[in-house]
Chains A and B, each alone.
Chain A
Amino acid sequence: MSSEPARASGRPRPLSPHLQVYRWQLTSTLSILHRATGVALAVGAVLWVWWLLALAAGPNAFAVVNSFWGSVLGRILLFGWTFSFFYHFANGIRHLWWDTGYGLDLPSVYRSGWMVIAFSAVATLLAWVLGYVVRGA
């Protein structure tokens, strides 16, 4: 930090090793992804309120929202939020399970990590297949 006061010797205080010295690990990636998807979902929640307000405002306002979600950009965002939701949901359960004191040994952490990845991928695809089935019906 730049605001760190220099010592009498003039040398800066030593810093602990930073992120870039560690090799890639599944555990840290999933941890960062939990935070990133959480932030994404918070933004998504704002758009849920936008949807509700438009719905309450009437058909004209709703048509604007609907055409946005139906657009290519809208669908890409929705796809991202679908994955974010299922990931944060599954990894959240993983965190709640850890809170009970179980599953914290390394093999279990890796096993549950891969399970979360598999679940969020399958659930995201399934949700979109279902969505297109509903739309087609």
Chain B
Amino acid sequence: MSRPDSRTALARVRGLGTARSGVQHWWVQRLTAIALLPLSIWWVAGMIALTGAEHNEAAAWVARPLNATLSIITLAMVFHHGQLGLQVVIEDYVHHEGAKIALLIMVKLLAGVLALAGALAVLRLMLGAVA
């Protein structure tokens, strides 16, 4: 026996629920998680290989086209996944509406700025601008 559904036909088709975001947050969190499975293992292996490395060795590693490309993709995935996770933590624990919104804005902007800054540093290394 199905439960009575008080939603309009249009609301049912849109399927977004009361938060008006549907499963978007959940789904993108999973997509970035799956992308990070191979990327993070590649990155950790790279960092272990660079243990105690001096500047020239580390810079040469990041400058390699494959490493540079994967680094930029990983930065994007890490910060996107990270801000989605932090969003839920903030929404769960910060009950003051103003503080919550301020923190959410800060985390989301900071994630974008840091990912971009990291990507630009990688590009600079790849294009050989660092002596």
Contacts and interface: CB of A to CB of B under 8 A. Distances in A.
B117 interface: yes
Contacts of A89: 37, 40-41
Category for how many chain A residues contact B:
35 or more
12 contacts: A1-B95, A45-B79, A55-B125, A56-B120, A56-B121, A56-B122, A56-B129, A62-B55, A62-B59, A89-B37, A92-B33, A132-B51
Contacts of B99: none
A55 B48 contact: no
Top 5 nearest A-B pairs by Cβ distance? A56-B121, A59-B55, A52-B121, A131-B51, A135-B52
A96 interface: yes
A55 B85 contact: no
A41 B82 contact: yes
B25 interface: no
A56 B33 contact: no
B58 A55 contact: yes
B48 A39 contact: no
A135 to B, nearest CB: 4
A46 B114 contact: yes
Given A49-B115, A55-B55, 14 more contacts: A1-B95, A45-B114, A49-B75, A49-B121, A52-B122, A52-B125, A56-B125, A56-B130, A59-B54, A59-B56, A63-B55, A93-B37, A96-B30, A134-B49
